[in-house]
Amino acid sequence: MSQPIATLLAQAELPGSDTPRLDAELLLAHVLGKPRSYLFTWPDQPVAEAEAARFSALLARRRSGEPVAYLLGEQGFWTLDLQVSPDTLIPRPDTERLVELALELGPSRSAAVLDLGTGTGAIALALASERPDWQLTGSDRMPGAVALAEQNRARLGLANVRFLQSDWFAALGAARYDLIVSNPPYIAADDPHLTQGDVRFEPASALVSGADGLDDIRHLVKTAPGHLQPGGWLLLEHGWQQAAVVRGLLEQRGFAAVQSWEDLGGHQRVSGGQWRG
C-alpha cells in the first residue's frame, strides 16, 4: 500500500547521522528522480510500493554508516555535480579553499597546472571550469579513480583537462608546471577516526599516510621542485593540526613565501610555498 511523501519522511530513522532529516530527503528525492523541493511542494503525493522499498533499502545502508554520497552516486563540489564511487574520497567543502587559493595565486595568463591524487577530479575540474586558458593535468595512482575523473570530465564537457594514472610524479617525466596542488592522504595509520563515520567506507589509500600522516606530504615537498617552473606555487591540503610541520618542511626544502591558510571552520587547512628556482 502506497504512503505519502510526508509519512515516509516522518517515519525515516537514521540515529547514527548528524543530519538525519537531510539524509532522508536526499535519498527519497533520489529514489523519486525529483529535486528536494518536490518533497516540500507535494508532501501528500503517494509513493509507489517499489519506490518505498528502494527508499527503505537505502535507509538501511545509511544506518550501517555508508555515506550518502556513495548511496546517491554523486556529490556537489564548487559549482559542479560530480559522480563519486568507493574508489575515491568524497569531495568535501573544506577542499574548496584549496581551489580558491589556486585561483588567487596561480597565473592570470595561460598556465600548466597539476592536481596530484585527483580522485574524482574535483580540484582539477573546478579549476578548469574557472580558467579555460589553463591546461590542467590530474593524476592518481588508482585506475578506478582515473576512470571516474575522466567520466566527470566528459559529463562536464571540459576540454582543458586530462587525467592519467601515476604514482605521484612517476609517470610525468620531466614535465614542469606553473602551479601544483594536492589534497594527499594525511591521516595517521592509528587515528581512531578511521573507524568512525563515513571514512570507514572510503578508500584507506586516499586517507592514510604513515605513522604520523605526513609520509606523502614529505614526498611531495621533496620532489615537487623538480616539476615546478620558477615562481610556481605548491599548495597542499593537510590535517588541521599539521600546518606548522608542513610549513617547516616547505621552508627546509627551500620554498619561499611559505604560509598557511584557514578553512571554513577557522583551522589552518592549506599550506604552500613558492619555488624560486
Q: Which residues make up each annotated binding site for S-adenosyl-L-methionine? A: 117-121, 140, 168, 183
3-state SS, one letter per residue, for 49-110: HHHHHHHHHHHHHHHCCCCHHHHHCEEEECCEEEECCCCCCCCCHHHHHHHHHHHHHCCCCC
The answer to whether 90 and 75 are in contact (CB under 8 A) is: yes
214/218 Cα distance (integer angstroms): 6
Which residues define the annotated binding site?
A: 117-121, 140, 168, 183-186
Which residues define the annotated binding site for substrate?
A: 183-186
**Alpha-helix residue ranges (DSSP H) falling in the chain:** 5-11, 20-32, 36-41, 49-63, 68-72, 96-105, 122-130, 143-156, 215-223, 243-253
**How big is the CA angle at 177 (ends 124 and 149), to the nearest 5 degrees?**
20
